[in-house]
Amino acid sequence: MCGRDVKRERLPKKVMAVAHRMVSDVPGSALPDLLNLHLTLFLSICSLLHREAEGFKEQGNAFYIKKDYAEAFNYYTKAIDMCPKNASYYGNRAATLMMLCRYREALEDSQQAVRLDNTFMKGHLREGKCHLSLGNAMAASRCFQRVLELDPDNSQAQQELKNAESILEYERMAEIGFEKRDFRMVVFCMDRALEPASACHRFKILKAECLALLGRYPEAQSVASDILRMDSTNADALYVRGLCLYYEDCIDKAVQFFVQALRMAPDHDKARLACRNAKALKAKKEEGNKAFKEGNFEAAYDLYSEALTIDPNNIKTNAKLYCNRATVGSKLKKLEQAIEDCTKAIKLDETYIKAYLRRAQCYMDTEQYEEAVRDYEKVYQTEKTKEHKHLLKNAQLELKKSKRKDYYKVLGVEKNATEDEIKKAYRKRALLHHPDRHSGASPEVQKEEEKKFKEVGEAFSVLSDPKKKSRYDSGQDLEDDGMNMGGQYPGNPWISVFQLLTCLSFVSASGPGNFFFQFG
């Protein structure tokens, strides 16, 4: 006999109540006939309801075949309303809900179906698939095992049971990967697990969190946003949205999401920790910036160092902190430390132009021109501005100049040395390396001193001539415009020390100019 809904459940009682009233006025001999009449009427009503329910089911089946699942759902619902105790109707509606990706509702219908009929294999299969889609692999396994109890050769249940076992294995691997901070492994495992468990928010959130920790913020944001479209109160998704903003150095917006997540789930430990870190990081960074603006570089350096210890996972913010500390380091003349900080910043964020520029300037200040050129080339390839082009050309010029003899170093003077300082340095170096002073030395030493003596004379011939010095300082070739050096320097190794001293005295008295000594 067909089942009844809530209203129709009361129908027999009403019939019996009417029958009781009628019976009280009917002679005893007529009672059996009257009861039979009412029973026949009741059975007729149930039969009519059953036929109507079957009609709705057939219409639902027709729409299901046409893949019009919304209409199929409506007709299966009508069938259930007519006969709420029919397991197959719940099973059919569960199948439709699964096609509509409404797995939680489908799970409820499947569970109702097997409660009504524990031998209903399709009901157990659908319940298992719903559990599987929602990521509940253990519950799914129990459902598929029940199907195999009813039908040991059921190939579908056997395959789905393997899928459930694979999900459990991927969960185990992901847990280990997360503990080891192997976030790529976790993403891989979650991608594999989501193939059969496509509606599992837990797997999606874990994947999104790891994507954020890997710096793949747009992907992480996309996953979290998809979940929030379906469930705007999902605390885990709100946390991931905040985490992405936090790692992109949008601290204020990130805090808003963390606070919202904590409203939804006050015991959300990750959101609470991230919120605390975000606020602490912002405060410490702002303290460092304030100290720097006030010229208190030592304090700024310490504050940026403290900020860097707050959250090693915040790559983008930490890159900025390293670059800020490098700027302070350059002010404090800690150039090598500044270069190291810039390198750390670039390692965290390879697109961080400011860090490349800061490091390049530090390389320039330490005369590491090849490294400076390499950084400026990287910057100019990324942002082709006039300023960057100028910086690159200047570094290339300094590199070209550095590959020539450094006449300032040969004479031992600064690049801003005066004419008198250049003359005095020349006299000192020329006497120091003159061959006569090393006549008793080994042939190797004599050769080396002779070479240095020539270089001293060559350096003086350039730096004592304003025109040549200007061309040399600007990086131009001295051989251009006939300004060659052949035979035009007072570095002839065969001049005696006495002659040299006489010449030097003359040079000192004659003042600057183009006076050179030639010895034939």
Whole-number average pLDDT of the chain: 85
Q: With the C-alpha atoms ordered 275, 278, 280, 283, is the resulting torsion angle positive or negative?
A: negative
Q: With the C-alpha atoms ordered 240, 241, 246, 252, is the resulting torsion angle positive or negative?
A: negative
For residue 5, pLDDT beyond 70: no
pLDDT at residue 267, rounded to an integer: 95
Per residue in 32-74, pLDDT (tens digit) is 555 555 556 555 666 677 788 889 999 999 999 999 999 999 9
Residue reference for tokens 């009504």: 116
Q: Which sequence spans correspond to the domains of the chain?
A: 407-476
pLDDT at residue 478, rounded to an integer: 63
pLDDT at residue 298, rounded to an integer: 96
pLDDT at residue 78, rounded to an integer: 93
**Which stretch of DSSP H or E encloses residue 520?**
none
For residue 486, pLDDT beyond 60: no
pLDDT at residue 479, rounded to an integer: 60
Within 8 A by CB and 6+ apart from 474, the residues are none
For residues 239 and 254, what is the distance between their CA atoms, to the nearest angstrom?
9
Name the token pair of 224: 């979290």
For residue 517, pLDDT beyond 50: no
**Angle, helices 137-150/155-179, rounded to nearest 10 degrees:** 160
> Which 8-state DSSP code applies to residue 209?
H
First to last CA, the chain: 134
Cβ contact 276:269 at 8 Å: no
Nearest one of 505, 507, 497, 494 to 461, comparing CA atoms: 507
CATH number for domain 407-476, candidates 3.90.226.10, 3.40.50.1000, 3.30.870.10, 1.10.287.110: 1.10.287.110
Taking 3-state DSSP, the helix, strand and coil percentages for the chain, each rounded to the nearest 5, stand at 75, 0, 25
User: Which residue did the predictor score with more confidence, 426 or 475?
Assistant: 426
For residues 403 and 289, what is the distance between their CA atoms, to the nearest angstrom?
39
pLDDT above 90 covers what percent of the chain?
A: 62
Q: What is the CA radius of gyration of the chain?
A: 44
Mean pLDDT of 320-349: 96
Say which amino acid occupies 309. Answer: T
Instruction: Band the pLDDT of 494: cuts 50, 70, 90.
Output: very low
Q: With the C-alpha atoms ordered 177, 179, 184, 190, is the resulting torsion angle positive or negative?
A: positive
Name the token pair of 314: 């915040």
Mean pLDDT of 352-375: 96
Mean pLDDT of 95-123: 95
Instruction: Band the pLDDT of 133: cuts 50, 70, 90.
Output: very high
For residues 270 and 218, what is the distance between their CA atoms, to the nearest angstrom?
20
Residue reference for tokens 């270089």: 455
Mean pLDDT of 395-399: 91
pLDDT at residue 509, rounded to an integer: 44
User: Which residue did the predictor score with more confidence, 320 or 472?
Assistant: 320
CA dihedral 135, 141, 144, 150 (to 10 degrees): -150
* CB-based burial, 71-107: b 16+ in 10 Å, e otherwise: ebbbbbebbbbbbbbbbbbbbbbbbbbbeeebbebbb
Instruction: Band the pLDDT of 510: cuts 50, 70, 90.
Output: very low
Cβ contact 283:277 at 8 Å: no
For residues 266 and 32, what is the distance between their CA atoms, to the nearest angstrom?
67
Name the token pair of 88: 């197959």
pLDDT at residue 22, rounded to an integer: 52
Classified as helix, coil or strand, 135 is coil
Mean pLDDT of 13-40: 54
For residues 46 and 31, what is the distance between their CA atoms, to the nearest angstrom?
23
Mean pLDDT of 411-424: 88
pLDDT at residue 21, rounded to an integer: 57
